Amino acid sequence: MTAPLYDCLQREVREELALDVQVGPVLVVDWVPPHGPWGDLLAFVFDGGVLAAEQIAAIRLLDGELDRYEFLSPAEAGHLLNPRGRQRLHAALAALGAVPAMPPISGMALRHD
């Protein structure tokens, strides 16, 4: 990854959903052990904020990676997730409103204001 983390996140959201959003703080960093054909990985969950009605109306699935999207309550989402995904969801919800620790970018600590 050559671009800063938040630039990459904003670009991904723009490429996938045709949305320009301000990405908020990291809520969860979760190590996922090797599984199936995949090696281990780090899963990051960020606060994406609240979308305005105009932003929701502007969502377009652009590159074929996604075939649909839904807005779900935490309980509804929990029923669709595997156990690890449910744990990540609960951890992210618990972190909302808190001041989570931010991973350093290029060795520099980030601040929350």
**Residue 2 predicted with pLDDT over 80:** no
Predicted TM-score (pTM) of the model is 0.76
Classify residue 45: in a domain, yes or no. Answer: yes
Instruction: Encode pLDDT of 21-66 as tens digits.
Output: 988 888 888 998 998 999 998 888 999 889 999 999 999 999 888 9
In percent, the amount of the chain with pLDDT more than 70 equals 84
Q: Which domain holds residue 49?
A: 5-95
What gap in Å lies between CA 38 and CA 40, rounded to an integer? Answer: 7
Task: Tell me, yes or no, whether 40 lies in a domain.
Answer: yes
SS3 content of the chain, % helix, strand, coil (to 5): 35, 15, 50
**What CATH number is associated with residue 78?**
3.90.79.10
Answer yes or no: is 110 within a domain.
Answer: no
Three-state DSSP class for 16? helix
The count of structural domains within the chain is 1
